[in-house]
């Protein structure tokens, strides 16, 4: 355990996937890094738990597609370092109507960025994926690089590698006070630590840490239902049948996504990319009526499009999203304290991008030139914040 007076190069608050990859890049560059986590590891209170996440290059914004090129490389590097498989390529099927503008935009970006993909007509969709029932003549766009990340496994592997690289991981230590300055002092429920820089990747708890530092970001915490549906015909929607991950565009108010059966025997994950406001301290409270409406939307989708699933969820789990108004990340320095860096607002699509997000947060914390254009991720894009109260 670190002595109280030790000076770290960086302290990272929050040992979810973003904080862990930040610590990984710091440790890789031989920086003295301390990773703090308020809960005992592993835990299921934030946004990084669960067995699986979708990985893809198909995005509505070309800057994410470009970031994903390097993300795939770093995920493969982590697999090599950990000596375990963390990813399975299944393809990602985007499903929508031919005239859907999002579908057209993504197809144009994939073409421009040289990402291997395939456009599928309704007839070709039926031939390739006969277990999907098309109700309105939908078409498909297949991102060949899409697949499944083994999330829990990846997080554990990353925490182990951070330790092997010399990083210090302290769990069960909630941060109770941050004193800005050079160095910055972080007081936890156990002791105080000092560092040249601080990175905050605290998910739904971000604003609790930032308010005493004079800033509140426009973040909304949502509780998401993660639903699993039983196959009536064994292996219909399994990886062994080459069934892909999928994401709908324009078929409901928010995206519906699915991953092939694998986490639980004969159960397929199909969920709604939206949720309802929730306090992260009360995420296990009983289901609200609005959440039941989300599940009804999923039931209708499963009944209409996936006829070999029972249209009633067999398991419902929960996770937290921390959304920004535009659903793009916040990766920036604190407006007043330039040795405090903030990574927040990952809006339910940050896990796959964490290898590059962690690299960017490492670069910001070390005052290095960022590897990517950070204009989409600046705090200043929210003009209503202002700086009068800083």
pLDDT at residue 388 is higher than 50: no
Lowest-confidence range among 261-275, 306-320, 343-357? 261-275
172 and 193 assigned to the same domain? yes
299 and 182 assigned to the same domain? no
CB 338 within 8 A of CB 197: no
139 and 160 assigned to the same domain? no
Q: Is the pTM of this model over 0.85?
A: yes
Domain harbouring 212, CATH code: 3.50.50.60
Would strands 52-55 and 256-264 be described as parallel, antiparallel, or unpaired?
A: unpaired
CA distance to 56, 194, 313, 336, per residue, from 163 (Å): 28, 19, 39, 32
271 and 347 assigned to the same domain? no
Percent of the chain with pLDDT over 70: 92
State which of 296, 323, 350 marks the end of a domain.
323
Range of the domain at 192: 1-89+149-217+326-389
Mean pLDDT value across residues 8-20: 97
Domain harbouring 266, CATH code: 3.30.9.10
Question: Rounded to 5, what percent of the chain is helix, strand, coil?
Answer: 30, 30, 40
The pLDDT confidence band at residue 319, using thresholds 50, 70 and 90, is confident
136 and 230 assigned to the same domain? yes
Please give the Cα distance from 106 to 316 (Å, whole number): 31
State which of 306, 323, 340 marks the end of a domain.
323
Which pLDDT does position 161 carry in this prediction? 97
Q: Which residue has the tokens 């939908």?
A: 138
The pLDDT confidence band at residue 90, using thresholds 50, 70 and 90, is very high
CA distance to 68, 137, 184, 309, 390, per residue, from 181 (Å): 35, 60, 5, 56, 15
pLDDT at residue 35 is higher than 70: yes
State which of 279, 306, 323 marks the end of a domain.
323
Which pLDDT does position 42 carry in this prediction? 55
Instruction: Please give the mean pLDDT across all residues of the chain.
Output: 91
For the chain, how many residues are written? Answer: 390
Dig out the tokens for 386 from the structure.
Answer: 């202002």
182 and 193 assigned to the same domain? yes
Neighbouring residues of 379: CB distance < 8 A, sequence distance ≥ 6: 215, 217, 330, 332, 335, 342, 385
Report the Cα 187 to chain-centroid distance in Å: 28
Which pLDDT does position 4 carry in this prediction? 43
178 and 198 assigned to the same domain? yes
Lowest-confidence range among 9-18, 81-90, 254-263, 284-293? 284-293
175 and 305 assigned to the same domain? no
19 and 99 assigned to the same domain? no
Which pLDDT does position 285 carry in this prediction? 53
161 and 309 assigned to the same domain? no
Round to the nearest angstrom and report the end-to-end CA distance of the chain.
35
114 and 192 assigned to the same domain? no
136 and 154 assigned to the same domain? no
The domain total for the chain is 2
Each residue's pLDDT tens digit, 344-384:
999 999 999 999 999 999 999 999 999 999 999 999 999 87
């Amino acid at each position: 355990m670190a002595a109280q007076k030790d000076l770290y190069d960086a302290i990272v608050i929050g040992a979810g996937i973003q904080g862990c990859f930040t610590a990984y890049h710091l440790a890789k560059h031989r920086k003295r890094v301390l990773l703090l986590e308020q809960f005992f590891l592993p835990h299921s209170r934030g946004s990084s738990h669960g067995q699986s996440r979708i990985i893809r290059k198909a995005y509505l914004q070309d800057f994410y597609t470009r970031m994903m090129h390097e993300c795939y490389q770093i995920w493969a590097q982590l697999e090599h370092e950990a000596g375990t498989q963390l990813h399975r390529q299944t393809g990602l099927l985007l499903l929508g109507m031919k005239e859907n503008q999002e579908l057209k935009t993504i197809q144009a970006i994939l073409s421009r960025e040289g990402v291997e993909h395939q456009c599928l007509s309704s007839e070709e969709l039926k031939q390739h994926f006969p277990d999907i029932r098309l109700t309105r003549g939908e078409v498909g766009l297949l991102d060949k690089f899409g697949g499944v990340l083994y999330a829990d496994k990846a997080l554990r592997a990353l925490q182990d590698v951070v330790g092997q690289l010399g990083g210090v991981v302290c769990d069960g230590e909630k941060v109770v006070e941050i004193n800005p300055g050079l160095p910055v002092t972080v007081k936890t429920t156990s002791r105080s630590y000092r560092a040249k820089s601080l990175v905050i990747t605290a998910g739904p708890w971000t604003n609790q840490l930032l308010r005493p530092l004079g800033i509140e970001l426009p973040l909304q915490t949502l509780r998401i239902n993660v639903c699993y549906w039983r196959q009536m015909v064994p292996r219909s929607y399994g990886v062994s049948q080459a069934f892909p991950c999928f994401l709908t565009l324009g078929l409901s108010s928010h995206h519906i996504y699915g991953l092939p059966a694998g986490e639980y025997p004969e159960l397929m994950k199909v969920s709604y990319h939206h949720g309802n406001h929730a306090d992260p301290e009360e995420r296990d409270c009983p289901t609200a009526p609005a959440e039941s409406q989300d599940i009804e939307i999923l039931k209708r989708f499963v009944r209409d499009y996936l006829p070999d699933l029972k249209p009633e969820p067999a398991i419902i789990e929960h996770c937290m999203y921390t959304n920004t108004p535009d659903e793009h990340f916040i990766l920036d320095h604190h407006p007043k304290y330039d040795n405090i860096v903030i990574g927040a607002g990952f809006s339910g699509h940050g896990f796959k991008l964490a290898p590059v997000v962690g690299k960017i947060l490492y670069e910001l914390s070390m005052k290095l030139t960022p590897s990517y254009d950070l204009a989409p991720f600046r705090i200043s894009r929210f003009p209503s914040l202002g700086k009068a109260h800083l």
